[in-house]
């Protein structure tokens, strides 16, 4: 999925041009087919935070009630560029 685009938008987050929430909402909608609903942004944020601390096994509840590990969410939503 558009890793290069995600990395580019993450640069905008790092320089303060946009918020991480906005970047993730764009990423979920533009870099996935079918698009992932923005309601998943909060779960993506939790997964990113856990992964940044190396806690890939932390459980994160998705808005649909499903529980996955942070690592599964990072992989499934292609969040590597945001780590």
Note the pLDDT tens digit of each residue in 22-78: 999 999 999 999 999 999 999 999 999 999 999 999 999 999 999 999 999 999 999
> Whole-angstrom Cα distance, residue 51 to residue 46?
9
Note the pLDDT tens digit of each residue in 6-29: 988 999 999 999 999 999 999 999
Residues 9, 27 contacting (CB under 8 angstroms): yes
> Whole-angstrom Cα distance, residue 26 to residue 35?
10
- pTM, 2 dp: 0.92
Question: Which pair of structure tokens corresponds to residue 53?
Answer: 């601390």
- Report pLDDT for 2: 82
């Amino acid at each position: 999925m558009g890793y290069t685009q995600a990395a580019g938008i993450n640069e905008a987050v790092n320089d303060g041009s946009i918020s991480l929430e906005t970047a993730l909402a764009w990423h979920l909608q533009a870099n996935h087919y079918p698009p992932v609903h923005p309601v998943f942004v909060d779960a993506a944020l939790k997964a990113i935070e856990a992964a940044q601390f190396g806690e890939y096994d932390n459980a994160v509840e998705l808005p649909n009630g499903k529980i996955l590990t942070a690592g599964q969410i990072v992989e499934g939503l292609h969040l590597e560029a945001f780590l």
